[in-house]
Amino acid sequence: MLKYVSMIMLALAVSLDSLSVGVTYGMRKMKFPLPSMMVIALFSGLMLLVSMYVGSFLVLLLPVRAEKSIAACILIALGVWAIYNVLRKREDELEDVAPRPTAQMRIWRVHLKRFGVVIQILKRPSLADLDGSGSISMSEAMLIGFALSMDAFGAGLSASFLGYSPLMLALLVSLLNLLFIRFGLKAGYKFAKIKAMKKAAMIPGAILICLGISKMFF
């Protein structure tokens, strides 16, 4: 029973970033079609699934009973890194809408600095709307999904060391990502300020740290 509870907590921690993304887009009154949401959810689930299968291979190379300690360390490291990123990120004023990149800038970023686009999206989510349409297309959702799935890779390695079911956890993460984005959009439409969300941004990191510590003792 405890194993399933910790698996759900891990899935929640990995998926909560999608809630923040949904709120951000909702507050900017941007449209987010259901197919685009599903692309992001699928990215996170697939990334976690791949990393868990990689982790299941690595377990065979590790000393006996070492995988649990390594999994705990990975979870704690991910949690610390997540909180560090929240603390060092400068507060953005919602009213201060990020400038749209020009067509020339967009071409340069997409074709020559594709990974740089992901970084910009993480810093200013509105930049994901590369065509300036006010709606997130499938291709733009792929960029967001790739950015959000990075945490899922590390969490997947840890989960494989703990013996979680890869398919079950991947499906759970995909479902939670979809639900959180949708809920975040609706919540974002109603919020005028983001102060509460800034405080809540530390929750995923705190959950990961608590899970890691618990795995050291249970």
* 76-89 pLDDT, tens digit each: 887 888 788 767 76
The first and second tokens of residue 20, run together, are 């923040």
Rounded average pLDDT over 190-217: 69
Q: To 10 degrees, what angle do helices 114-123 and 138-148 make?
A: 80
- Dihedral-angle region of residue 62 (phi above 0 means left; psi in -120 to 50 means alpha; beta otherwise): beta
* 22-72 pLDDT, tens digit each: 877 787 777 888 998 999 899 889 988 998 988 888 877 777 567 677 778
Name 102's Cβ contacts closer than 8 Å, sequence gap at least 6. Answer: none
At 135, phi and psi to the nearest 5?
A: -135, 140
CB half-sphere exposure, 183, CA atoms < 13 A: 12
Q: What is the pTM of this model?
A: 0.70
